[in-house]
Structure 1
Amino acid sequence: MSQRCQRVIHWFRKGLRLHDNPALIEACKDASELYPVFVLDPWFVTNANVGANRWRFLAQTLDDLDKKLQLLNLRLFVVRGNPETELEKLCKKWKITKLTYEVDTEPYAVARDERVGVTMDNLGVSVTTSISHTLYDVHRIVKINGGKAPLTYQSFQTAASRLGPPEQALSSPTVQDLQGCRTPISDTHNKEFGVPTLEDLGVCMTDLGPNLYPGGETEALERMERHLKKVNWICSFEKPKTEPNSLLPSTTVLSPYLKFGCLSSRLFYHKLVNVYKGKKHSQPPVSLMGQVLWREFYYTVAAVTPNFDKMKGNPVCKQIPWQENMDYLNAWKEGRTGYPFIDAVMIQLRREGWIHHLARHAVACFLTRGDLWISWEEGQKEFEKLLLDADWSLNAGNWMWLSASAFFHQYFRVYSPVAFGKKTDPNGDFIRNYIPALKKFPAKYIFEPWKAPTTMQQTAGCIIGKDYPKPIVDHDIVRQQNIQKMAAAYAKSKSSNPDTNKDNIKDLSSKSSKKRQPDDADNGPLKKKKKS
């Protein structure tokens, strides 16, 4: 072991874990004093639109991280304020010689880290960064792809395959790794640097839903291992065949843990490889491994695309003349559209902070090109606020996909707000759970309660238009209108800039779009994409 002579800050941002944390391992190598720091950046409080459930997840994650660090005779130092300012203060106070952290590719983080780098340089503090939030260095994938973002899943896979498998996940540091290293702790540590409570964070406790998915590395690893034991389920997993409206999740719900870095994507990747070994199993894009690669795909494109979370100034995004309609938008947000499947999903989102991927498809399509013709940016903001796993790159990418603004261009394939949910939950148990007013409706009418005879509504104790809203739009009518609007927007986009998104335009089948297309109740974009 090298002589310990460095006083080091390891700056936790994402990567809120001990396992597979190369920047933390680097900090441990030659530190005589090690200070694990998390900065509560006020920019996220004012700009990131964080809801109560996600604040709770973060607080639980930080608490779990602090407990795990204590087992290594370390503590977590939580500070509030501008990262450049706070890190500069701490470096001077603790006479720091080295700073380590995990690379973050989001635009705000890139600009922030450049400023921090200048500050550290002025202080004479060396900086070491490591890539571990993604499977690969996404900029290497871009370079392999000819210096441009791969705009299809297939082109991404081709580029990524040239890098070979991701590096193996690293083990957590041990007490032995830290022999000779200490973290000076004052008696006032908890008061000065303790993990904040929800009250400290200004969270309105009445906004909290049930704590179904506790935050932290401990829960992440336990949840992963529980699912890995279901070998047959993992090998046969196909995302379009899971149930978007089952009362218990039909997927792993590991996404919040990957978003915060409580779970390493590299560890999960290689664990899946080991489960698949020697067995027949499903393949990307619909397999569990396919879901990990979707995450990497969006991270790669987002890292090099200007204004990725906006329509204007975004070179991969179609320019579509969405309408502004606050009544429609608020009805969608609050679960008052009059379409029980859509409303139940939005109520689940607000209450629990998580909804199934295919349920996200349905409500996103409904808000945008399917029914309400409202910009995907509005939906993105609501998901950013309410989802535990709200991830900048994936959130923007998926909203563009579902609105047929980028990546997916078969805009004539529309999710039915009635048939799609009915397929996997014909009795409507999901609706009954989240919309008690409809609980007594028979299965025949629960997805379309406005069609129930008045006497039946009276018997069920729910008059449509009074106790539960009538549909705010007629899906059969607006769907056709919106398809025509999309066709016009596509034609205008193609004529004004024929080279834009040429990698994607080939996915659009103009021949098919001329035919009357049924609602896409059976095939989500992932399944369709597989054929492209």
Structure 2
Amino acid sequence: MAVERRTLIHWFRKGLRVHDNPALIQIFNKAGASPDKFSVRPIFVLDPGILDWMKVGANRWRFLQQSLLDLDKNLKELNSRLYIVRGKPVDIFPNLFDRWNVELLTFETDIEPYAVKRDKAVQDIAAAHGVKVDTHCSHTIYNPEIVIAKNFGRAPITYQKFLSVVEKLKLPKVLDKPQRLPNGVQPIADELEMGQSDVYECPTLDQLVKRPQELGINKFPGGEREALRRLDTSLSDEHWVASFEKPNTAPNSLEPSTTVLSPYLKFGCLSARLVHQRLHEILKRHPKHSKPPVSLVGQLLWREFYYTAAAVEPNFDRMLGNVYCLQIPWQERPDHLDAWAHGRTGYPFIDAIMRQLRQEGWIHHLARHAVACFLTRGDLWISWEEGQRVFEELLLDHDWALNAGNWMWLSASAFFHQYFRVYSPVAFGKKTDRTGAYIRKYVPELAKYPAGCIYEPWKATLADQREFGCVLGIDYPHRIVNHDIVHKENIKRMSAAYKINREVRTGKQEDEIDYDSSMSLTTRQRNASFET
């Protein structure tokens, strides 16, 4: 009598790739060694609970849909396929475990609070059903738990400290894609699949995108194939790689001045460990090269730094209850927030950035600096949590840890404390685009304004505004604040907030954040692009 085959499940969440995916490779190897005993089902769960945890915009839904289609193609080349399952994991897994006769479930670990709670619940369900669970850390280069353990149980709170810890750690091996499965490993259709050929098919764009009118240009298609192609293209000029310094790139170039690998790293279409390895291979051939924090390797390590800090703080994305974050009395200004979010502040450089974000789902890192500073301590004095929520919806590369960490940094709420260094919403953009070509593209109302006033349209006379075809207050808004005045007032507010926070923290341990510490190498280099 034939013994019923057992099923091995790999659960994709992030990590939407077949290369360097140890959790996927584990079940492929196990099934390949005993094809008469096991079936393989790689699954992705369309979890409605995610929408309770975060807001996802139309462009990111499209990126996910494209990534799933691409993943399914890559799995089919390995004699498998992707099974899309719809529902909350805690609801669907008990049925899957029993119906598919599951022996093993593998997945990639995650640090986000929603994922931690979800995964613990699924592991408990698996244990109750006699299913073994194996997890692997492969979304980051270093395992945050190991970094924290090596730092005496605490997350490093400065970038330089983080570097000093990880430089002593062994790098994990980067894995190739798994071997193609033998023909006999394909699972036999169960009763749910009989007569329903599309029951586990990838979702269509119409099924995922509920507001198609919000879809912008598809400038960065999703998927592993595109990720690897973009990686090869980005690293083809080794001299550019070796000399790369983030502050020397342009936040407002019409074509990206950086790699735009971040969306692919966020979804795990591209392995951060692979990128790290490829970069080091190039740098070995170019001994004179840029260094962290401004180098390309340094950019990857910023990602690692924030992941490690966030791993131990479930309130990392909010001000209250966040061990890292200063408590600052931000004001609520829904009108100003809406103007900022939709590119109607009256500052063309700021508005162009926010409109590019809404249209394309991506903006340069230094452009993010400019608009984040403007919203918070620079001009509008609105909480970084509000800006974080807008980025959460609109960014293709939105990542819980990186988004929160960078917003705390730019608002001078954590990690960076030189609050008096403020980005100018006029001068900063001029440094890399004096003619205003970027503004003309994303704020077309101002297309006929000359370079001399396109960054400051309020300097044009009413007669000139009419001649240029854009009258302020009618065709384009007046500026909602006067930067020259408000940024000085806000520096005073920050000074007062820092004083109060310092008094509250009196008596804390010496290794707590020192808001008055001298500027580190990291901060000096990061501040190279600040201009008041």
Q: CA deviation at 1:414?
A: 0.2
Q: 1:483-502 residue pairs with structure 2 within 5 A?
A: 483-498=491-506
Identity across the alignment (%): 56
Residue 178 of structure 2: aligned partner: 173
The 1:499–1:370 alpha-carbon spacing in structure 2 relative to 1, beyond 3 Å, is farther
Residue 337 of structure 1: aligned partner: 345
Q: CA deviation at 1:6?
A: 4.2
Q: 1:214-253 residue pairs with structure 2 within 5 A?
A: 214-253=221-260
Distance 1:142 1:158 in 2: 12
Match of 1:476 among 468, 473, 484: 484
Amino acid at match of 1:527: R
Contact 1:342 1:362 (8 Å CA) reproduced = yes
Residue 517 of structure 1: aligned partner: none
Residue 142 of structure 2: aligned partner: 136
Residue 371 of structure 2: aligned partner: 363
Amino acid at match of 1:181: V
Are residue 57 (structure 1) and residue 60 (structure 2) matched?
no
Amino acid at match of 1:49: K
After superposition, the C-alpha distances for 1:9-37 in whole angstroms (9 at most, x for unaligned) are: 11000110000000001111222200011
Distance 2:195 2:371 in 1: 48
Match of 1:161 among 138, 151, 167: 167
After superposition, the C-alpha distances for 1:21-76 in whole angstroms (9 at most, x for unaligned) are: 00001111222200011001111123310000000000000000011111112111
Q: CA deviation at 1:509?
A: 5.8
Are residue 209 (structure 1) and residue 216 (structure 2) matched?
yes
Residue 462 of structure 2: aligned partner: 454
Q: CA deviation at 1:423?
A: 0.6
Match of 2:101 among 89, 95, 101: 95
Contact 1:4 1:181 (8 Å CA) reproduced = no
Q: CA deviation at 1:508?
A: 3.0
Are residue 262 (structure 1) and residue 266 (structure 2) matched?
no
Contact 2:356 2:442 (8 Å CA) reproduced = yes
Contact 1:28 1:178 (8 Å CA) reproduced = no
Distance 2:188 2:4 in 1: 15
Q: What is the root-mean-square deviation of aligned Cα atoms in Å?
A: 2.0
The 1:311–1:190 alpha-carbon spacing in structure 2 relative to 1, beyond 3 Å, is farther
SS of residue matched to 2:153: coil
Contact 1:341 1:417 (8 Å CA) reproduced = yes
Are residue 325 (structure 1) and residue 329 (structure 2) matched?
no
SS of residue matched to 1:10: strand
After superposition, the C-alpha distances for 1:385-435 in whole angstroms (9 at most, x for unaligned) are: 000000000000000000000000000000000000011000000000001
The 1:500–1:347 alpha-carbon spacing in structure 2 relative to 1, beyond 3 Å, is farther
Q: Which aligned segments of 4 or more residues in structure 1 are displaced greater than 4 angstroms?
A: 3-6, 177-180, 185-190, 499-505, 523-526
**Structure 1 length normalisation: TM-score?**
0.94
Amino acid at match of 2:177: S
The 1:281–1:501 alpha-carbon spacing in structure 2 relative to 1, beyond 3 Å, is farther
The 1:203–1:440 alpha-carbon spacing in structure 2 relative to 1, beyond 3 Å, is same
The 1:296–1:188 alpha-carbon spacing in structure 2 relative to 1, beyond 3 Å, is farther
Distance 1:183 1:393 in 2: 37
Q: CA deviation at 1:149?
A: 1.1
Q: CA deviation at 1:498?
A: 2.4
Contact 2:29 2:178 (8 Å CA) reproduced = no
Distance 1:36 1:319 in 2: 44
Contact 2:62 2:205 (8 Å CA) reproduced = yes
The 1:526–1:91 alpha-carbon spacing in structure 2 relative to 1, beyond 3 Å, is farther
Q: Which runs of 5+ in 1 are unaligned?
A: 513-522
Q: CA deviation at 1:462?
A: 0.6
Are residue 315 (structure 1) and residue 314 (structure 2) matched?
no
Distance 2:72 2:289 in 1: 39
Contact 2:61 2:209 (8 Å CA) reproduced = no
Amino acid at match of 1:66: D
After superposition, the C-alpha distances for 1:296-338 in whole angstroms (9 at most, x for unaligned) are: 0000000002300000000100000000000000000010000
Using the TM superposition, name which of 260-269 and 274-283 deviates more: 274-283
SS of residue matched to 1:316: coil
The 1:501–1:474 alpha-carbon spacing in structure 2 relative to 1, beyond 3 Å, is farther
The 1:83–1:444 alpha-carbon spacing in structure 2 relative to 1, beyond 3 Å, is same
Distance 1:390 1:378 in 2: 14
Residue 72 of structure 1: aligned partner: 78
Contact 2:8 2:40 (8 Å CA) reproduced = yes
Using the TM superposition, name which of 439-448 and 131-140 deviates more: 131-140
Amino acid at match of 1:290: G
Distance 2:4 2:23 in 1: 17
Q: Which runs of 5+ in 2 are unaligned?
A: 32-37
Match of 2:313 among 305, 314, 336: 305
